[in-house]
A and B are shown apart, each in its own frame.
Chain A
Amino acid sequence: MSAHRVKIYAGFERLWHWLQALFIIILMITGFEIHGSYTLFGFETAVRIHNIIAWSFIILIVFAIFWHITTGAWRQYQPTGERSLVTQGRYYAFGIFKGEDHPYRKTELSKLNPLQKTTYLAFKILIVPVMVTTGLLYVFYNSWSSIWPGGLAWVAIIHAFGAFILVIFLIVHVYMTSTGETPLSNVTAMVTGYEDIEDAPEEEPATV
């Protein structure tokens, strides 16, 4: 079996990914300070940074949505069914320790495994929208507080809960980058856009 060098992540996709990563990490650092977990910049500065980055993130999200729709890249995140999730899960739980091959081959048309598809889909249609919505409600609290006086507590708690989920996501996500062909191949691909992908056998159809 031979491998060939394939451009797997487009320029915008890489820029989007790394900007998003940067934004989320800054939002985390400042957000947990606003939450009261520690003092770093001081509340006022933390809020200022958090707001500027949040608005930048929202702009980035608008571009990302546009990019996903116009390029058809959204199809990458279509779920592939429960069984494929189980297969992928079983691989991470058992097979990976025995040196088994990845159950789903990365191809140019399907660069995400079933677990990734589902996780990233949840990230895109659940976590990010919830964080953006609660974040905006938080910022514009004074515009609606008279309608729901005790509402800020719920908005803040949901926003913080989402932040904890994102911390867990970040830990697992960063760790999972090491599960590629080599420990650094996934990160390298997200930086350069290129990855050496094994040539697929003719008879195996690509999972889209």
Chain B
Amino acid sequence: MASRGRFTQRVLILLALVAAALFVVVAGATGQTETVAQEEEPVPVSVERSDATADHSKFEILQQPFATGPDLTAACLSCHTEAAKQIQATTHWTWDNHFGEGVGKTTQINNFCIGVQSNEPRCTSCHTGYGWKDHTFDFTIEENVDCVSCHDTTGTYKKFPTAAGHPAYEPMDFGGKTWNPPDLSAIAQNVGKTSNATCGSCHFFGGGGAGVKHGDLNPDLLTASKDVDVHMSADGAAMVCSDCHEGRNHQLNGSSVYMSPSDESGVDLPLDDGNQATCQSCHGTQPMDSDKLNEHTDKVACQTCHIPKLARGETYTKTWWDWSTAGEFAPDGAKITTKDENGNVEYTTIKGNFEWDRDFVPAYVWFNGLVDVTIAGDPVVLNEDGVMELNAYAGSYDDEDSRIYPVKAFRGIQPIDGGNNTVALPHLFGKDDAAYWKSFDWNTAIAAGMEVAGTPYSAGAAVPYSGEVGWMETVFYEPATHMVAPSGDAVECQSCHSRAGVLASLGGFYLPGRDGGSLDWLMWGLVAITLVVVIVHGVMRVVGSKRRSS
């Protein structure tokens, strides 16, 4: 008995030691999180952006008035002899992706203004060139490259919205205001590096207005607080677009149509993998403090957790566009424009109905970087919701290149060739009577659009059109990859790991906290039966003992 007592004592001491060790481990773990929390707030480094070795105001060739953009470009090219050739090899110029599959802005159908072809003068106001007004545009003329749309530092250079990439050369009216010609000479003498403003002059206004197309790219980024964009905010890393989208020979890193939802090569060294715009290029493949979080990166893109909501600033983004309601006029024959309570356009005669949103949770899809795009004449293929995915994102849980990826799912209703049940490209913009915005006749607009679709840019012939207008509901995915939030604002675990979380409809895999509850009713039923049996048993014992004692 005595030896047994001593043994117990020893075991108890051992256990106490284990408990102490455990305490230290747990306290250590807690302490660690505290230190991590304390060490945040890296001091913003002020980067001197202007490190130029040439003062362009001292070049005589720039000290002259320039009548047109191409005249200015000719002056640029007199020194920068290879610059235009370089630009002409990029997607900024070709609007065709660099994979040579004839896929790109030029031919791709979306559900905003549907397609570029036949609408060039309007769309190409965001082309880094001059004069792309139709399919006859000569992509080889070097003077047609627009240098200053990217290299203006004065903020005064603006391309006129409907002039095929040219700025106004005399005062012109558009959108209820007068566009005065920019001083091209002053702009030329002050050229410099690209900036958030120059990149943003097109990329913040995709779809024809601030934030229309992208939920993660809009003018808020020019003045963003840190919680809107931890990278680009002056209070954050104060980065510019080209810090990630850097490049050589004017060829910038980053995606066009195809994306990189993962980047296993991790941190990039100079001359590394040519894919230096990914999160991993700077942050590596295991950037988080927690192993469990790092393990998530095999199936979850960084963006999914770190962009908790889209359009987190002031600017709304368009979420719905119904072309089928366009063409209504006021009784006096005037075009109608109505706005919603937030001041966003709700209806216009030329475009139909819109819906807008900001600070909203994105949709999530499996994505391996490949996109199945749609061009004019493609058959209408509806998914189980009766909606056509115009740029279906490829990927699945079983595909090791796929990640769960956040997107803005932009929905709308747009015209089709109802007779052939094919995707239509309407001719919207133009001074001719066939243009929808002139005639408000979908039939002539689609006929005119289909006539030039395909032919000039890819090898195909003009797209057949039956003459019968139809409609379909569509969705177009815009990737969310900008407006990364500070780490503390990342999506909470239970946002996904819960029965009705944001991933509720994303199939193909077991998600803890969401799945596995289908037989819970049975198991809780067994628990309930056990409880009842135990209670009945107890009552019967009490009754029995009372009966015996009475």
Contact = CB atoms under 8 A, between A and B. Distances in A.
Interface of A: 10-12, 15, 34-37, 39, 42-44, 47, 52, 56, 59, 63, 67, 70-71, 92, 96-99, 138, 141-142, 145, 149-150, 152-153, 156-157, 160-161, 164, 167-168, 171-172, 175, 178-179
Contact of B12 (A11, A70, A157, A164): A11
Interface string B6-39: 0111011011001000100010010000000000
B26 A42 contact: no
A134 to B, nearest CB: 12
Contacts of A15: 12, 15
A39 B545 CA distance: 43
Contacts of A42: 492-494
Contacts of A37: 517, 520
Contacts of B15: 12, 15, 63
Given A43-B498, A52-B26, A161-B523, A99 B544 contact: yes
B548 A99 contact: yes
Given A10-B8, A11-B9, A42-B493, 17 more contacts: A11-B11, A12-B15, A35-B516, A36-B514, A42-B492, A44-B494, A52-B26, A56-B22, A59-B18, A63-B18, A97-B541, A142-B298, A152-B512, A153-B515, A156-B512, A164-B523, A175-B538
A171 B530 contact: yes
Contacts of B513: 34-36, 43
Nearest to A140: B295
B77 to A, nearest CB: 54
A141 to B, nearest CB: 8
A96 B542 CA distance: 10
Interface string B291-308: 010010010000000000
B510 A153 contact: yes
Contacts of B298: 142, 145
A141 B526 CA distance: 29
Contact of B510 (A34, A43, A156, A178): A156
28 contacts: A10-B4, A11-B8, A11-B12, A12-B15, A34-B497, A34-B513, A35-B517, A35-B520, A36-B499, A36-B512, A36-B514, A43-B497, A52-B29, A63-B11, A71-B4, A71-B7, A141-B295, A150-B510, A153-B515, A156-B515, A160-B516, A164-B527, A168-B527, A168-B530, A171-B530, A171-B534, A175-B538, A178-B538
- Among B9, B492, B523, which residue has the most Cβ atoms of chain A within 10 A? B523
A156 B526 contact: no
B46 to A, nearest CB: 36
Nearest to A159: B516
Contacts of A39: 494, 498
B461 interface: no
Nearest to A56: B22
B271 to A, nearest CB: 32
B14 A63 contact: yes
Contacts of B26: 52
B8 A44 contact: no
B193 interface: no
A160 to B, nearest CB: 6
B537 interface: yes
B540 interface: yes
B531 interface: yes
A56 B20 CA distance: 11
A172 B527 contact: no
B51 interface: no
Contacts of A34: 497, 512-513
B398 interface: yes
A171 B531 contact: yes
Contacts of A70: 7
Nearest to A15: B15
A16 B512 CA distance: 30
A67 B11 contact: yes
Nearest to A138: B512
A70 B4 CA distance: 11
Most buried by A among B11, B517, B545: B11
B527 A167 contact: yes
Contacts of B526: 164, 168
B398 A149 contact: yes
A43 B516 contact: no
Contact of A12 (B8, B494, B520): B8
Contacts of A171: 527, 530-531, 534
Contacts of B292: 47
B22 A97 contact: no
A153 B509 CA distance: 8
B516 A156 contact: yes
A32 B498 CA distance: 11
B544 A97 contact: yes
Contacts of A96: 541, 544
A52 to B, nearest CB: 6
A164 B531 CA distance: 13
B8 A97 contact: no
A165 to B, nearest CB: 9
Nearest to A42: B494
Contacts of A138: 512
A77 to B, nearest CB: 19
A44 to B, nearest CB: 4
Contacts of B543: 97
A48 to B, nearest CB: 8
Of B14, B512, B531, B548, the most chain A CB neighbours within 10 A belong to: B512
Given A12-B12, A34-B513, A36-B497, A172 B530 contact: yes
A12 B11 contact: yes
A175 B537 contact: yes
Contacts of B545: 99
Contact of A44 (B492, B514, B515, B523): B492
A157 B522 CA distance: 13
A71 B545 CA distance: 39
A168 B514 CA distance: 23
Contacts of A67: 11
B502 to A, nearest CB: 13
Nearest to A32: B520
A43 B494 contact: yes
Nearest to B29: A52
A12 B4 CA distance: 11
B538 A142 contact: no
B527 A97 contact: no
Nearest to A93: B537
Nearest to A160: B516
Contacts of B527: 164, 167-168, 171
A15 B537 CA distance: 30
B351 to A, nearest CB: 43
A47 B534 contact: no
